Amino acid sequence: MRIGAVTFPGTLDDSDTLRAIKASGAEAVALWHGDADLRGVDAVILPGGFSYGDYLRAGAIARFAPVMDEIIAAARGGMPVLGICNGFQVLCEAGLLPGALLRNAGLHFVCRDQWLKVENNTTAWTSRYDAGAEIIVPIKNMDGRYAATKSTVDELEGEGRVVFRYTGGNPNGSLGDIAGISDPTGRIVGLMPHPEHAIGALTGPSDDGLGMFLSVLDSVVAA
Amino acid sequence: MIDTVDNAKATPEHEQPFRELGLKDDEYARIREILGRRPTDAELAMYSVMWSEHCSYKSSKVHWKHWSANTTPEMKAKMLAGIGENAGVVDIGDGWAVTFKLESHNHPSYVEPYQGAATGVGGIVRDIMAMGARPLAVMDPLRFGDPHHPDTKRVLPGIVAGVGGYGNCLGLPNIGGEVVFDSSYQGNPLVNALCVGAMRVEDLHLAHASGTGNKVILFGARTGLDGIGGVSVLASETFSGDEGGTGSTLDPAGRSSARKKLPAVQVGDPFTEKVLIECCLELFAQGIVVGIQDLGGAGLSCATSELASAGDGGMRVELDRVPLRATGMTPAEVLSSESQERMCAVVKPSDVDAFLRVCAKWDVIATEIGEVTDGDRLVITWHGETVVDVPPRTVAHEGPMYERPIERPDYQDSLQANGSDGLARPSTPDELRAEILRMAASPNLASRRWVTEQYDRYVRGGTVLAQPADSGMIRVDEETGRGVALATDCNSRFVKLDPYTGTQLALAEAYRNVAVTGATPLAVTNCLNFGSPEDPGVMWQFEQAVRGLAEGCKELGIPVTGGNVSFYNQTGTTAIHPTPVVGVLGVIDDVRRRIPTGIGAEAGETLLLLGDTRDEFGGSEWAHVAHGHLGGLPPKVDLAREKLLAEVLVAGSRDGMISAAHDLSDGGLAQTLVETCLIGEVGARVFLDPDQDPFVQLFSESAGRVLVAVPRSEELRFTEMCTARGLPTRRTGVVDPDSHSLEIQGVGELPLSELREAWEGTLPALFG
């Protein structure tokens, strides 16, 4: 089982994502933004950071990297793809997920341990969680406020595509307390909080994040 | 017309604006003597920035003798590199070397809070990279004026956002620091930045330009007009907000000044720095860097002269090859620009192609600008004409050195005589209870969460402890679990009352804060923030502080590996409280045995107070909050006791006898209890000593004390160990996992919800 994590210039949580992949028992594969090559991975993660400094709009430039063409094609073919934080922003910019992430309501960078409710445990990335489970995972970003048109939000809610919801306080003013969403197939998921920073009590608030990396192993085996 | 060396020889009488550049008459005369002619414009620019207080340490260098006089061979043995390098390096075991340094960026941060603070972070990170290390984490000791002053509402949010904005985007966790308010910093906030990095011992890179024919490569951002004159702002006696952009004064060529009204404060680009870090690490890994130097204060003037003087030859630089981001820059401007995110490396000719390939991979601009020569001169040309021809050591290391007059201030006796004994003290249970809440909500003791939530503490996945813990702790080796702990401290009120003792108290607190996490203190760095060195009273404070720190370190047996001096910190004409921020680095062989701050991790814990509590309120937070009083003498310092305390904490951690620990400092036992309960989210019942005044027990700031929680099963073993070693302990309470309040016998019950509201409400109300 090979799971890739992409490094763009300015990606920050790539080594942490690779560490979490290893902790789940899979083989961690580093992917480079400039290479149009997925190196035979079974699933791909776009980690957090500030790709290209996010000086234009978070994720707006990374979306045009050579590796993204491969990822978009593979995702359309059913490969599980996870976008974390900046990776979520890139997936929105690439049109693989609807909506956008705006500046936090408080206009500050927010780093805290955040409670999340798992709203959908049928996606490729959340099958290991109980439905309605509450998990605690770090969140850390400047542009984390999920926004979309009313019809998009209605569609997401109606189809059960809101995967994670903030609970115990909305850190950034996201619409409907939305923390993470999926595409209609449930194979592409994006979320603002960082599951790769919750793989053990030594360096994170919990090991609640590990479930996402384990879930995708199940889904790849099942596929 | 460009002022060349030939032109300088031909026009010896040409008047030069050396005074505007901050040089004294005798300093200018000395430059002429060194060169045997007048300097060119470019040379004058180089000497003036490199001989500034900030770069040359001309007022402080004479006191460095205290470091060497107090460093024993055993202390020296722990250092792989010490004072004089970009940052000190210590061996932490398992083949790892750790480098760390503190630096100030005070004046720029007052003029332009966001960029000043941001580039402060960027600069210290490049210092660490210049040692060949991967930067691991940053910390920021900050000082602000009165929290209620309107200008503090301008300065603080900008500085915090700048520290966060740069560090977060750079991908370095911020693991601690300080936020302190005192009106002495009103017109002069302090922004100190610390970075810690690690490398394999064999990979240590020192900034040497050796080997004739080796190439000098400038890489990173382009060079522009920003930050010209930055160092003169940093250490300027005339600096003010209005004149922040003093770039125009640095214009020996007399160019039109309109174009020069760019800010003297540099503008940071953390994305470029992030890419530069990864690029540097890949270059180090390929072993193709002979020497490396960051470009910080004084830009290329500093990098070329320092690289050249540290090597065994001279250097020739073709300055016109430097990639620029502005048109029409003069050689003097190119040399003194402080554009950020640049590094300079010395590379063997055979490795240049490989070097450029790595830079291209990371889209980092890299340009060969010169080479190491066999002479002993630094020669810089501009389109074929020589504009600089100097002995590099005279620029970098042989600047002026002053023995400034020293005099104990007249006010010192009356300040010390004005003790805190006569201040009205709370005594009834209700008064004490109210005082605990008032203190917990006071700006200096309140939760720093509003600040620290703006910093990423998780990135890189190695953060084991971060704020609000007493120290930050970072795992260095993922296999063995070896890591480091870091704390910075300084109570400047103590230093004001007695600079020698106050500085030792800062050292003691940082040392203790490292030890309470279970780490063994190993090395010291510092950032000495003081007023004007031309004031004999300030120089007395400075001399006392350096001596106190040096002698204190000798007693503790840990070396000072480096430091930074920032003078001319004053609000109007009044100097800030002397603020020698002390950073202590500790090592822990396995971060899994770290001691947390919050209680309640284990069922059934006893609270023990280690150390002696005396009636000591001079310079205390209580005297400040309750009476706005500053006078008397600071608490007694006993470094032998601090050493013993640290040994007990480390031994207790190794043997699994301690489940939580928190040091006692600002606000005394009351504040420690409040924090340890709120962080652990559990209540506790506390029994005060019936034979001692409850007020003194709760609020005294006696040094050398720590509150530990020990599992009940370990209580006897732990207290017996303390008794055997001669450390006083007092059973002070028990943790009550079912309780939601802090109950202090004889004072009353404080619900955690009420304490939390008091502790966490203050900063958001002031700045949110």
Q: What is the pLDDT of residues B121-148, one digit of tens each?
A: 999 999 999 888 999 999 999 999 999 9
Contacts of A204 in chain B (CB under 8 A): 458
CATH of A2-222, one of 3.40.190.10, 3.40.920.10, 3.40.50.880, 3.40.630.10: 3.40.50.880
Give the tens place of pLDDT for each residue, B539-566.
999 999 999 999 999 999 999 999 999 9
Q: What is the CATH number of the domain that holds B360?
A: 3.90.650.10
Contacts of A50 in chain B (CB under 8 A): 168-169, 270-271, 274
Instruction: Check residue B239 and give its pLDDT.
Output: 38
CB contact under 8 A, A194 and B458: yes
B468 prior amide bond cis, ω within 30: yes
Is B105 an active-site residue? Answer: yes
Mean pLDDT within B191-212 = 86
Contacts of B271 in chain A (CB under 8 A): 9-10, 50, 52-55
CB contact under 8 A, A109 and B272: no
Mean pLDDT within B59-87 = 88
Selecting among B14, B63, B66, B105, the annotated active-site residue is: B105
- Answer whether residue A52 shows pLDDT above 60: yes
Mean pLDDT within A71-100 = 97
Give the span between the Cα atoms of B474 and B463, in whole angstroms.
5
Look at residue B580 and give its three-state secondary structure: strand
What are the residues facing B216 on neighbouring strands? B346, B370
Instruction: Check residue B249 and give its pLDDT.
Output: 36
Average pLDDT, chain B: 92
Contacts of A55 in chain B (CB under 8 A): 271
Q: Tell me the percentage of chain B whose pLDDT exceeds 90.
A: 86
In terms of CA atoms, which chain A residue is nearest residue B157? A108
Q: Tell me the percentage of chain B whose pLDDT exceeds 70.
A: 94
- Answer whether residue B229 shows pLDDT above 70: no
Give B264's pLDDT tier (boundaries 50, 70, 90): low
CB contact B493 to A (< 8 Å) = no
Give the tens place of pLDDT for each residue, B654-703.
999 999 999 999 999 999 999 999 999 999 999 999 999 999 999 999 99
- Give, for B190, the enclosing helix (H) or strand (E): strand B190-200
Give the span between the Cα atoms of A164 and A192, in whole angstroms.
9
Give the span between the Cα atoms of B39 and B301, in whole angstroms.
14
- Answer whether residue B251 shows pLDDT above 60: no
* DSSP single-letter state for residue B264: S
- Answer whether residue B434 shows pLDDT above 60: yes
Residue B210 domain-assigned?
A: yes
Give B266's pLDDT tier (boundaries 50, 70, 90): confident
Instruction: Check residue B569 and give its pLDDT.
Output: 97
Residue B705 domain-assigned?
A: no
Instruction: Check residue B572 and give its pLDDT.
Output: 84
Phi/psi of residue B141, nearest 5 degrees: -80, 120
Give the tens place of pLDDT for each residue, A135-154.
999 999 999 999 999 999 99
CB contact B517 to A (< 8 Å) = no
Give the tens place of pLDDT for each residue, B481-535.
999 999 999 999 999 999 999 999 999 999 999 999 999 999 999 999 999 999 9
Contacts of B137 in chain A (CB under 8 A): none
Phi/psi of residue B199, nearest 5 degrees: -155, 165
Alpha-carbon separation of residue B520 from B199, B507, B514, B695 (angstroms): 20, 14, 7, 33
- Answer whether residue B240 shows pLDDT above 70: no
Distance from CA of A126 to the nearest CA of B (A): 22
- Answer whether residue B205 shows pLDDT above 70: no
CB contact under 8 A, B168 and A109: yes
Could you say which of B164, B271, B461 has the minimum Cβ distance to residue A15? B461
Residue B114 domain-assigned?
A: no
Tell me the one-letter amino acid at A142: M
Give the tens place of pLDDT for each residue, B569-609.
998 889 999 999 999 999 999 999 999 999 998 888 999 99
Instruction: Check residue B753 and give its pLDDT.
Output: 98
Residue B456 domain-assigned?
A: no
Q: Tell me the Cα Rg of chain B.
A: 26
Domains identified in chain B, total number: 1
Give the tens place of pLDDT for each residue, B320-379.
999 999 999 999 999 989 899 999 999 999 999 999 999 999 999 999 999 999 989 999
Is B149 an active-site residue? Answer: no
Better-predicted residue by pLDDT, B232 or B322? B322
Look at residue B268 and give its three-state secondary structure: coil
- Among A75, A127, A67, smallest CA distance to A96 is for A75
Q: Where along chain A do its domains lie?
A: 2-222
Selecting among A33, A70, A119, A194, the annotated active-site residue is: A194
Give the tens place of pLDDT for each residue, B22-61.
899 999 999 999 999 999 999 999 999 999 998 899 999 9
